A = this chain, B = another copy of it.
Amino acid sequence: MAGYPLSSGKPSLIVRKLQPDNREMPLSFVDTDTIGNDLFYRRNHFPYPSLPQTIYWLPVNGLVHMPKIFTLDEILQLPSKTLKVVLECSGNKRHFFEPKVFGDQWEKGAIGQGYWKGVPLRSLLELAGGVQPGAKEVLIEGYDYGKQSNINQPVTFARSLPLSKALHPDTLIAYQYNNQPISFKHGYPLRLIVPQWYAVASVKWIKQITVIDYEFNGPFQAVDYVYYPDKETDAGAFPVTVLNVNSSIQKPLNREILNRGMHLIKGIAWTGAGTITKVEVSTDNGSNWYPAQIEAQNSNEKYAWTSWTYEWHAVKKGEYTLLVKAADSHNRKQPSIPFWNRKGYGYNAIDKVRVKVE
């Protein structure tokens, strides 16, 4: 009767929708700093695409001096860089808005990170002769497409970047994730990686790159992924771009019952502007704040999240509200009250868990 698995096993992704496939990471049960494919969140707008049966090639065209088609082999030969980048869905934490908003109810796990290796988009544009005067944006289309509500034609997933972001030397056409080819479900063979922006910009399964002289207004640029501060009208709308400064408590769990004694409060903090400079924890619902210990980051990890811990001595029985807030080097801070918007993007209020000490 020996040989039974005594361990609890591994966590797995939490399904938010099956068609298309949308799942989040169980953040509280992940203790690695680099997320494997099995636990990397999935956010799809459409069914998984069929990739071409032929050798993969990537057209770079539009307003470049010498439009060019790159083979995957050519791209793999170019000088590359490897960056540790956090990708966060702009709907991450949508579940926590009050009043509640409609849409996939992401909790804290629509986020992941690891090492992306690839060629700067800038290099491909240069090899295509460079962008022509008058160019305004770079349009990236994926192989994924389908029916979008209220649009009759099938639409392709496509996003544009302003020239400045497209030409940033760390905006990558990535082909590896954590030293392996990018997994199919996360964008194989080529995925755009746009550090510091919400992950909607990091187009998967890249099909084509086009330099354009206008502002692209596809449905994932000008309808969705737009902050609408008003419940009924589109007044004050503006696009989802840079990651807000943010942090999450991983442990303890919300509504967990703890014994008296020392408990390690732990979590992550991240930002799209500069680096995390401060993480503070409160164990009394905000009356007092104490600095958390921040894990040192290497200089090549400036786009990654920061792990933090705080040793809490829970001396007295009772109910406690634990809070965490982060600040970044651009002096951005997490707000007490999130910026409510109709589609529920960019939630970054101070994170909170309630626990009971017995």
Contact = CB atoms under 8 A, between A and B. Distances in A.
A69 interface: no
A48 B6 contact: yes
Interface in A272-286: none
Interface in A71-115: 100-105
A17 B256 CA distance: 10
Chain A contact residues: over half helix, strand or loop, or mixed?
A: loop
Contacts of A1: 51-56
A355 interface: yes
Given A1-B51, A52-B1, A53-B2, A102 B18 contact: no
Interface residues of A, number: 52
A18 B26 CA distance: 11
A100 B21 contact: no
B5 A21 contact: no
Q: How many copies does the complex hold?
A: 2
A149 interface: yes
A6 B47 contact: yes
Contacts of A356: 102
A4 B51 contact: yes
A184 B47 CA distance: 36
A253 interface: yes
Contacts of A9: 21
Interface in A226-255: 253-255
Contact of A255 (B12, B53, B56, B103): B103
B5 A184 contact: yes
Interface in A337-358: 354-356, 358
A222 interface: no
A253 B14 CA distance: 14
Nearest to A94: B255
A101 B17 CA distance: 28
**Residue among A50, A102, A354, A356 with the highest chain B CB neighbour number at 10 A:** A102
A66 interface: no
A41 to B, nearest CB: 14
A256 B19 CA distance: 13
Nearest to A42: B8
Q: Which 7 A-B pairs have the closest CB atoms?
A: A8-B21, A102-B356, A12-B12, A11-B15, A4-B184, A1-B51, A6-B48
Interface of A: 1-2, 4-9, 11-15, 17-21, 26, 29, 44, 47-48, 50-56, 100-105, 149-150, 184-185, 188, 253-257, 259, 319, 354-356, 358
Given A1-B52, A4-B184, A101-B255, 9 more contacts: A4-B188, A7-B48, A8-B48, A14-B14, A15-B26, A18-B29, A102-B356, A103-B257, A105-B255
18 contacts: A1-B51, A4-B48, A4-B188, A5-B185, A6-B47, A6-B48, A6-B50, A8-B19, A12-B13, A14-B26, A17-B253, A18-B29, A100-B354, A102-B256, A103-B255, A105-B253, A105-B254, A150-B259
